[in-house]
Amino acid sequence: MLSRSDRLMALKGILVHGGSSPVGCILIQLARLWGGSVATTCSSRAKPVAQALGAEEVIVTGRGNVEKQLEIRESFDMIFNTVEGSLSHETCLKFCRPGGHVVTTYPSHIASDSYNFLLRPTYNLWLRIKLLLGVSPWGDLVPSPTTLDQLGALVEDGSLQPVVDKIFSPQDAELAFQHAGSDEAIGKTIIRFR
């Protein structure tokens, strides 16, 4: 992603849907570093954080339908959809300029979750055959040490700020997971094991 920043620098109108999510906090900062004009959606609690990270416009969720709020704004060159729920990929496309792009960063649903008890064994067999043939049925995730090094350098020089909301101890792990999955979480929720 960082190696393509020259293409992203040409994009001026950027929406980060879910600007208080861990990925959203990083994307707001990267888009600003690349010269983009950044709008974001987040809770009212997260609004000051989103502004401090570089969002020029903050659309507060919970104050009516986000779709309606986006309809009255200018279209975007790129939309990063970092939270599952209120805006689908197709809905985000409606708010893009012609030639605009939508990047969804949350994991997609597993197809087999919606299969009935007769189809699940067939699907399981298909997956096993693909794996035996050496074909990944989920696509390939290729880690990029170069990108991680670039992100690390941005953190080291202060251009990119990690956002940690709360730190929990291991005995409060259940609370940590509840908090991380809530609408009130901002950035990362940490469980410290020391």
Residue 157 lies in a domain: no
CATH (domain of 37)? 3.40.50.720
Question: Is position 141 within any domain?
Answer: no
pLDDT tens digit sequence for 130-176: 778 877 666 666 678 898 899 999 999 999 999 999 999 999 999 99
pTM: 0.80
- Give the residue among 73, 35, 29, 32 at the shortest CA–CA distance from 49: 29
Give domain status of residue 22, yes or no. yes
Helix, strand, coil content of the chain in percent (nearest 5): 40, 20, 40
Bridge partner residues of 39 (DSSP): 15, 57
pLDDT 10s digits, 36-62: 899 999 999 999 999 999 999 999 987
SS3 166: strand
Residue 59 structural domain: 2-104
Total domains present in the chain? 1
